[in-house]
Structure 1
Amino acid sequence: MANTSDLVKLAQKLVSDGPHKAEHTPRRVRGLFNGRYAFDTIQAYHVWEHPYYPQYYVPISSFSPDASLSKTSPIDGTNGGAHLGRLNVGNRSTNRVLIFNTKTLQDLVKVEFGAVDQWFEEDVPIYCHPKDPYKRIDILQSTRNIKIALDGIPLAESSSPLLLLETTLRTRYYLPPTSVNWQHLTPSDTETLCPYKGRANYYHVKLDGKEYRDLVWYYRYPTTESAPIAGYVCFYNEKVDVWVDDVKEAR
């Protein structure tokens, strides 16, 4: 049971209430673990454990001969509808596994996204979590003037921004690196992953001896769909002052 209490609670909730939504996806889904594909399937499901984004659940039958999948213990309160599991490939294993036997999730397996070395949709690696098939990103060139400031100190200004519009989220303004007052920025060691954009790196902002951590991010090598923003920088709208054509946005 060590390190699996969160999985137990999730399984109990899914068996009791069902997922928020679950539907088959036609995408080929593969998981690389310890140098081998632990599973390979065109029968995966998008399962929304909550309303925000889905996870991949894969059929028991999709696990490869190189992988050993086993049930380790039934989960209390599920009446046999869910078990904790273990995935072994070679000399590595993970217990971040749930195996289901319910009407909605019959013979489906959740392997925690971060427990697998790399997930693929078709031949494309994915990061952080699966993309929601009902959300999209648009990146639009613009000539609107964008000004960024904090505590009255200008940080950036450009009339050639890229506007990134992501379903349900506020517009993000990506600015050319030459538009930034770099004397106020210092590199951060922070990295984050986004399924739509890839791996982000960050800068802190320093003003009059005060440091505002991870206020700016950029993608050195974004995903193909977000390629135009490579090298551009973006400030957290919620934490800085932003003017769009001299109209100040609310934070």
Structure 2
Amino acid sequence: MADLEALGKKLTTEGPHKIEGTSRRVRGLLGGNYVFDTTAARYVWEHPYYPYFYIPKTAFKKGALERVDPSAKKPYWLGKLGAGGKSTDRVLAFDHAGPLEDLVRIEVSALDGWFVEDEKLLGPHPKDPYKRVECIPSSREIRIEFDGTVLAKSSQNIFLFETMLRPRYYLATTSVDWEFLTESETTSYCPYKGMANYYHVKVNEKEIKDAVWYYRYPTAESALVAGRLCFYNEKVDVFVDGMKEEK
């Protein structure tokens, strides 16, 4: 629990990077029960990159939330959340802590599901209300190389632009040389795009694990990239209309 202790201390001494309210209905599912249901959640940016939902103490189902160490004299405390025979101790709650007063942080993966209105939350954090994803078809040529070998070349691509991040290029499966790709068992979740699967790349006995990803069933906002392959810009050489990108 040391990481939660450190986070509690940091947030009560330095404060969060940013905090604001939301009128979205936010619910948490654990053990077949909604342990909280609120339209008074707060977006809390613990750092500049993306927010978490913090939940008011008053939103929790009676008896679901308890304090682990009632004797601790701090403006924050570690808690336990339980329902339906399941429980988690990945809980950090605040008492008199400035803008975080009477709010509770639950690690996203500790619950069976989070729902924003009636949409299930994907990934390790909620969508940032100031961030957007834009998928745009492009005929600019994308060429992917690794160790001097061309892995893919395409002029029928989808460019994905995501606020504050570098562009990603999604190529048709027919533009890739499959000789150099092997399937990975890795999966990941993105709040904006959905569940990703991966491939490894191997050229001349050199291998890059999880160098390529794709979305079989992306979210509606990223539907144009469905089934397309995206090479990790930072791990391979990417040329856009013949110009090499910086890694």
Provide TM-score, normalisation by structure 2.
0.95
Counterpart position of 2:178: 182
Displacement after TM superposition at 1:178 (Å): 1.0
Amino acid at match of 2:82: N
Is the Cα–Cα contact under 8 Å of residues 67 and 79 in structure 2 kept in the other structure? yes
Is the Cα–Cα contact under 8 Å of residues 208 and 235 in structure 2 kept in the other structure? no
1:94 aligns with 2:94: no
1:54 aligns with 2:20: no
- How many residue pairs were aligned? 245
Counterpart position of 1:41: 38
Counterpart position of 2:156: 160
Counterpart position of 1:234: 230
Counterpart position of 2:108: 113
1:73 partner SS: coil
Displacement after TM superposition at 1:91 (Å): 1.1
Cα deviations by residue, 1:99-140 (Å, 9 ceiling, x for unpaired): 111221121111111101111111111122111111111110
2:26 to 5, 29, 33: 29
Alignment partners' CA distance in 2, 1:60 and 1:117: 19
1:31 partner SS: strand
Is the Cα–Cα contact under 8 Å of residues 30 and 84 in structure 2 kept in the other structure? no
Is the Cα–Cα contact under 8 Å of residues 27 and 36 in structure 2 kept in the other structure? yes
Alignment of 1:99-248 (within 5 A): 99-101=93-95, 102-127=97-122, 128-248=124-244
Is the Cα–Cα contact under 8 Å of residues 211 and 232 in structure 2 kept in the other structure? yes
Is the Cα–Cα contact under 8 Å of residues 150 and 241 in structure 1 kept in the other structure? yes
CA RMSD of aligned residues (A): 1.4
Unaligned runs of 5+ in 1: none
2:160 partner SS: strand
1:227 partner SS: helix
2:4 partner SS: helix
Cα deviations by residue, 1:149-205 (Å, 9 ceiling, x for unpaired): 111111111111000001111110000111111111000011111111111111011
Unaligned runs of 5+ in 2: none
Displacement after TM superposition at 1:209 (Å): 2.7
Alignment partners' CA distance in 2, 1:182 and 1:133: 38
Alignment partners' CA distance in 1, 2:169 and 2:191: 19
Displacement after TM superposition at 1:215 (Å): 0.7
Amino acid at match of 2:161: L
Alignment partners' CA distance in 2, 1:53 and 1:120: 18
Alignment partners' CA distance in 2, 1:37 and 1:178: 45
Cα deviations by residue, 1:217-245 (Å, 9 ceiling, x for unpaired): 11111112111111000001111111111
Displacement after TM superposition at 1:61 (Å): 1.3
Amino acid at match of 1:16: T
1:82/1:243 Cα in 2 relative to 1: closer, same or farther (>3 Å)?
Answer: same
Provide TM-score, normalisation by structure 1.
0.93
Amino acid at match of 1:64: K
